[in-house]
Amino acid sequence: MGVEGVTAPSTAPDLSLLPADLQERWPLAAERASRKLAGLSENPAAWRLVQAAQRAPNARQRVVWLQRAADAWAAPMRAVAACKAGCSHCCHTPVTITRLEADLIGRATGRTPASPARSVRLDDHETLAAAIEAQAELQEPGWPGPCPFLADGRCSVYAARPMACRLLLNLDDDDLLCRLIEGTPVPVPYANAGQLRAVYLLAQPGAELADIRAFFP
Ligand code: SF4
């Protein structure tokens, strides 16, 4: 499970809509992220944990193993990422989880996940990419507000937090580009976790996807 590079925005970011400090930062941040990745080695434990997931007897156990794999994958990058304890920018952005992850969080918190008003099923789409795109289209414009599990600026379900939260790492030196600006997305040099995301979705055939806020309104 290698260190794959930085997630590129799907289209060239329109920097002209951003404040001047962010416009200046983006090319510098992208260069910093690439330089950091070039100096890192992958964590072999991540691949071993993915293999353990593949041997697991059911989807629930596969997801738990893959969450551990995600933590191992992220470990070398955490030391150089901008992400720090107490930072909660990502907890104010859309957080897509599966029904199975909602059940794991439900078990950890004693809360019963709701039936989301709007969700996407993987098997209603021909490809993973189409399902992910359909889920992204369900998101309301603008920022959705804090995750229901954010308490005093910290994650209250850290051990059970979903895959989405384990895989998001800003490889810049600080959180300037994580700033939430209404009306325009800000490009962030996230570590590219595309391979693990795909394995995780394939491990849950027919999974229901929705925002964490829709499972726990
Ligand atoms: S589950 Fe935890 S880490 Fe993930 S968005 Fe919610 S509060 Fe943040």
Q: Are strands 96-98 and 120-121 parallel, antiparallel or unpaired?
A: unpaired
Q: Is 105 in the pocket of ligand 1 (CB under 6 A)?
A: no
User: Which atom of ligand 1 is closest in space to residue 164's alpha carbon?
Assistant: 4
Annotate 5-59 with DSSP letters as a single string.
Answer: -BPPPSS---GGGS-HHHHHHHHHHHHHHHHHHHT----HHHHHHHHHHHH-SSH
Q: Tell me the pTM.
A: 0.91
Please give the distance, rounded to the nearest whole angstrom, from the Cα atom of residue 123 to the centre of ligand 1. Answer: 26
Q: Is 149 in the pocket of ligand 1 (CB under 6 A)?
A: yes
43: burial class by Cβ within 10 Å (0-12, 13-18, 19+)? Answer: buried
Please give the distance, rounded to the nearest whole angstrom, from the Cα atom of residue 16 to the centre of ligand 1. Answer: 30
- Report pLDDT digits (tens) over 108-137: 999 999 999 999 998 888 888 888 888 788
Q: Rounded to an integer, what distance in angstroms lies between the CA atom of residue 27 and that of residue 30?
A: 5
Mean pLDDT score across all residues of the chain: 90
The predicted pLDDT at position 116 comes to: 95
Token pair in block for residue 1: 């499970």
- Helix, strand and coil percent figures for the chain, each rounded to 5: 50, 10, 45
Higher pLDDT, 1 or 5: 5
